[in-house]
Structure 1
């Protein structure tokens, strides 16, 4: 059952902290997962969070560090000496340790690295720090199990036992040559059912999915998702095996990318969270709101151009919000489907085919909605039939136009290396509002003969 933090439970912890009852606090937190303890610490003040951190042993606090919000983790690390931080990092895998060190000021990074007890561990962390954080090299860990293609099964098993001591989860066994170049992977079943004297070169699987150190993290996520991989090896420029990326690292990438795309689609120009400062939230939201405001000015101007039509047929004005809303909604629907397809790499074939498909879909939806609108305007609202025809035809035209724009713009943005998520939200909504109103009154002017 998922752990839930209650107000009563927090009050009990705060009481134990205020009374300095560390042993009772340890007993209370003994069976609670480190991720839940991190949530508890985020609910407490700085003193309470630091008290819990200092009370627990480093084996548990090292894992807690990874789960803490960046702001809370920064405050915790700020109060620790380089030696204390190094003790925490000694408990972590190389990729997690490198992520935490990367957040430290430069002078403190060097001090922490010099305090690491395990020299090999320190060398691996330093190696990882030279890669961009959004690349496969920045994601990978050094812990893995590898065997030489020239070994036999017996030697292989002995070496695997020694290597596995430093690996928390053995997802795959990789095969390399004498130059450490990745050659393939080894099936545990084949290893267990083969004679101990059989050379590994005769039983390993030569086909293996891998990525290079400079492969972008989102591309790594796409490959692992497509082939349903729990781990993937990473090779350098010479094809040498240098690390592996596990599914837990990729889940974080997928979540961050989804959060970013969602915020872009909602008109937020940078990565923010609900508890960020008012200034940071304003900087992220204001640019798109300004764009929407200017779009509103243009819409008002377009309405002014067609003022003579509204003087003769004022009933047209009451359908304006409906036309604008339908244009925005259809555009966002179309662009959202395309953006999702581009993110999952499922958009294939020529652009014209995609546009023709969207045209057919919008035509079908438009006809159905236009018929409903025509019937509603005549039988429910009591407007003259020619007004209903005008609005219905305008609605059909606007739906087709908005659908094509919502499809075309994300594809074009993606083609030129711009995040297609920018196409959704305020951008599509505002542009379709303007074009929808313009299309609506232009058709009204033509049909009504004004």
Structure 2
């Protein structure tokens, strides 16, 4: 059954907190999934969330901690001592623990690490903190199951049982050599159907997909998506197995990239959320608004220069808003498909075949729209020659918008700039200026102005 937060549930929780009835509160919350409790924390006062956090078992609260929104988690961590935070992190996988520690101040970070009881766990966390958060090293966890290629099946099974105690979920069994270099992977089926005395070197699969610690998180996501992987091993510069990235981490990466691209397409220059301050929201949204205003001022000068044309043929100016909107829509549609193709790997660079296809689509769309406009203009205004000039201009402008929408994101991608920029105000405002220039230039040419 799907969980929904009701007013009755919130009232019940708040009443139990007010009564300091820890026993009934714990019984009520223990029946809920940790992700649902994290959702409740978003709906109640931070003091109430901290109170609940302190009465629940660390095994539950550790999972709650990783599910919380960053701003809520920051406030809860602020209300906990370094020792209390360390108790939570001891229950988490190394990658989740490292992510949380990275959010702390430098002084508190050192205090928390010193309070971790499991020394090996602490060493792994410190090791992960060395990597950039947007790389495979920053994504990976240290928990995995590995066997040596020189062992036999019986030894492998014994070692796997021991290692699996510290791994939440076993996705794969990796094979390494004496220097911990990744050699391949082991099929569980082969392990179960092979003699216990058989050397692993005779049965393991040498072909294994992997990523390097400095590969970008987006590249890791692309590889895992392409090969439909639940986990992928991570190796260092010497090819040594240092960790693994699991599918839950990749889902977060994909979501973050989608959110970022969506905001960039809307002209928001940096990652913001509804809970951010007014200053942060303005700083993220105002730059493109100012850039768009400057570009539109240029468009207004273009209109002014063509004042004589629409004085003689007034219907020319009537169709300018339609021209701008249509060109903007065509450009955004074209760029959105290219950006999507670059993101999922179906389009890696400029393709003549795709470019021709996009031009054909734009031409057919332009002809269809222009025929409608020609008919409308002829019926309503009766100026057939003006209608023809407007219709031909619209076709050219739409073709130009499609070309711009296709080429610009590819150019940005080639120059290591996020092509998602091209799906927002950049395309629409640029199309406004050039579209209006082309529109009046063609109209003047056809009408002999």
TM exceeds 0.5?
yes
**Length-normalised TM-score, structure 2:** 0.98
Measured in 2, the distance between the counterparts of 1:23 and 1:349 equals 61
- State the SS of the aligned residue for 2:244: strand
Residue 188 (structure 2) pairs with residue 188 (structure 1): yes
| Alpha-carbon offset, residue 374 of structure 1 | 1.2
Checking the alignment, whether the CA contact within 8 Å between 1:41 and 1:52 is kept in structure 2 is no
CA distance in 1, matches of 2:184, 2:248: 23
Quote the Cα distance in structure 1 between the aligned partners of 2:41 and 2:446.
Answer: 67
After the TM superposition, which of the residue ranges 271-280 and 351-360 deviates more from structure 2?
351-360
Aligned partners of 2:131, 2:117: CA distance in 1, in Å? 23
Displacement after TM superposition at 1:114 (Å): 1.2
Q: In the TM superposition, what is the alpha-carbon distance from 1:350 to its structure 2 partner?
A: 4.5
1:253-264 correspondence to structure 2 within 5 Å: 253-264=253-264
Q: Residue 245 of structure 1 aligns with which residue? A: 245
Partner of 1:88: 88
- Paired position in structure 2 for 1:157: 157
Contact persistence 1:17–1:48 (CA under 8 A): yes
Offset at residue 311 of structure 1 (A): 0.8
State the TM-score, normalizing by the size of structure 1. 0.98
SS class of match (1:43): coil
Match of 2:332 in 1: 332
Distance 1:350 1:250 in 2: 27
Alpha-carbon separation, structure 1, partners of 2:345 and 2:156: 39
Bigger mean CA deviation after superposition, 244-253 or 7-16: 7-16
Name the residue aligned to 1:124.
124
C-alpha distance in 2, partners of 1:348/1:270? Answer: 25
After TM superposition, list the pairs within 5 Å mapping 1:138-153 onto structure 2. Answer: 138-153=138-153
1:422 corresponds to 2:425: no
Contact 2:350 2:410 in 1 (8 A): no
Task: Name structure 2 gaps, 5 residues minimum.
Answer: none
Alpha-carbon separation, structure 1, partners of 2:116 and 2:19: 35
1:75 Cα shift?
1.2
Matched position secondary structure for 2:159: helix
Q: What is the distance in 1 between the residues matched to 2:118 and 2:40?
A: 31
Native 8 Å contact 1:370 1:393 kept in 2: yes
1:100-139 matched pairs, under 5 angstroms = 100-139=100-139
Aligned to 2:97: 97
- Residue 66 (str. 1) matches residue 60 (str. 2): no
Aligned-partner SS, 2:377: helix
How much has 1:388 moved relative to structure 2? 1.4
**Structure-2 residue corresponding to 1:11:** 11
Cα offsets for 1:374-409 (capped at 9, x unmatched): 122223x24321121111111101110000000011
Pairwise CA distance, 1:46: 1.5
RMSD, matched Cα: 1.1
In the aligned structure 2, how far is the partner of 1:5 from the partner of 1:276? Answer: 23
Aligned 8 A contact 2:349 2:410 in 1: no
Which stretch shifts more, 122-131 or 353-362? Answer: 353-362
2 CA distance for matches of 1:197 and 1:39?
Answer: 51
C-alpha change, 1:350 and 1:408, in structure 2 (3 Å) is: closer
Distance 1:189 1:300 in 2: 71
**1:288: Cα distance to partner?**
0.4
**Which residue does the alignment assign to 1:406?**
405
Deviation of 1:352 (Å): 3.6
Q: Which residue of 2 aligns with 1:443?
A: 442
User: How far off its partner does 1:348 sit?
Assistant: 4.4
Say if 2:153 is the partner of 1:167.
Answer: no
Partner of 2:267: 267
- Cα offset for 1:145? 0.3
Q: CA deviation at 1:332?
A: 0.4
- Separation in 2, partners of 1:349, 1:335: 13
CA distance in 2, matches of 1:393, 1:324: 15
Distance 2:23 2:251 in 1: 36
Contact 2:224–2:231 (CA under 8 A) maintained in structure 1: yes
> Which piece of structure 1 moves more, 305-314 or 434-443?
434-443
Residue 81 of structure 1 and its aligned partner are, at CA, apart by 1.2
Distance 2:100 2:179 in 1: 31
Q: CA deviation at 1:105?
A: 1.0
- Measured at CA, do residues 350 and 331 of structure 1 come closer, stay the same or move farther in structure 2, by a change above 3 Å? closer
In the alignment, the residues of structure 2 paired with residue 348 and residue 291 of structure 1 have an alpha-carbon distance, to the nearest angstrom, of 29
| C-alpha distance in structure 1 between counterparts of 2:135 and 2:20, whole Å | 45
Deviations 1:398-430 (A, max 9, x none): 110000000011111111111101111100000
Q: Deviations over 1:284-331 (max 9, x none)?
A: 000000011112211111110000011111111111111111110000
Q: After the TM superposition, which of the residue ranges 94-103 and 342-351 deviates more from structure 2?
A: 342-351
